[in-house]
Amino acid sequence: MKVYFVRHGESEENIGSIIHGSDSPLTENGRKQAEFVAERFLEIPIDFIISSTYGRARETADIVNTIILKPIDYSDLFVERRNPSEIINTPKDGPIATKIRSLRMENLFVPDWRHSDEENFDDFKKRGLTALDFILSLRHENVLVVTHGLFLRMLVSCMILGEEMTSREYYKLRISLETRNTGVTLCEYKPVVPNERDNPWHVIAWNDHAHLG
């Protein structure tokens, strides 16, 4: 099974100063990026598309699908990490966001810590593992997943380190794994022989954005 992960196109939140929730639309440049990556998938076999339900990802997936015309499903499993609701629609560098960001950094590796209603590390990892199981349950050979930068890094971290992954291990990978808007990451799942320790997931390509020039 081959899974092609695509980060959504450039959104208004990416270039703006305000923290958005689920409703940040693509910019004009983001829509062009989605068209560019769609052209790539004309040459790549795809059987099924999964998209995050967030506007920027859904819009990206819909643009791609106007060109490749495949069955598509929208799932909350693939949305971006949920932030504390207090910071939504506030300035990225404003006093509220700055204070909460500082508290989160101070408690980064404290088990089960959360500020309010956000996803903490354990929530996020659990959703990542569940999302991988969901992908495998589709039983398609070639799947395209349109998602978000942080969640993509969580998915790949779960592939590499599995259920035993710690918050420290995740944050080391998170810092090192850069993502670009509409970057393509290819992962392959190969079932292993029972009782062997080989990892069935393999990362073949990371953040390929050659279509952007």
The model's pLDDT over 92-115, given as tens digits with 9 standing for 90+, comes to: 999 999 999 999 999 999 999 999
In this prediction, what percent of the chain has a pLDDT beyond 90?
93
> Rounded CA gap, 77 and 54, in Å?
11
Q: Quick: pLDDT tens for 60-90.
A: 999 999 999 999 999 999 999 999 999 999 9
E-only strand ranges, 114-199:
142-147, 184-189
How large is the average pLDDT for residues 28-54? 97
List the single range of 32-41, 131-140, 166-175, 195-204 with lowest mean pLDDT. Answer: 195-204
Q: Residue 95, CB half-sphere, CA atoms under 13 Å: how many?
A: 0
In this prediction, what percent of the chain has a pLDDT beyond 70?
98
The candidate with the shortest Cα–Cα distance to 151, out of 65, 83, 71, 61, is 83
Q: Residue 127, CB half-sphere, CA atoms under 13 Å: how many?
A: 20
Please tell me the predicted confidence (pLDDT) of residue 196. Answer: 61
pTM, whole model, 2 decimals?
Answer: 0.95
Q: Determine the 3-state secondary structure of 97 from DSSP.
A: helix
Please tell me the predicted confidence (pLDDT) of residue 194. Answer: 67
Per-residue pLDDT band for 192 (boundaries 50, 70, 90) equals confident
Residue 208 has pLDDT above 80, yes or no: yes
Please tell me the predicted confidence (pLDDT) of residue 195. Answer: 63
Residue 3 has pLDDT above 90, yes or no: yes
More confident of the two residues 23 and 28: 28
Per-residue pLDDT band for 38 (boundaries 50, 70, 90) equals very high
More confident of the two residues 185 and 213: 185
Please tell me the predicted confidence (pLDDT) of residue 51. Answer: 98
CA-CA-CA-CA torsion sign (112, 108, 145, 53): positive
Mean pLDDT of all residues belonging to the chain: 95
Please tell me the predicted confidence (pLDDT) of residue 197. Answer: 63
- Residue 112 region by backbone torsions, left for phi larger than 0, else alpha for psi between -120 and 50, else beta: left
Please tell me the predicted confidence (pLDDT) of residue 61. Answer: 98
Please tell me the predicted confidence (pLDDT) of residue 116. Answer: 95
By the 8 A CB rule, do 83 and 118 touch?
A: yes
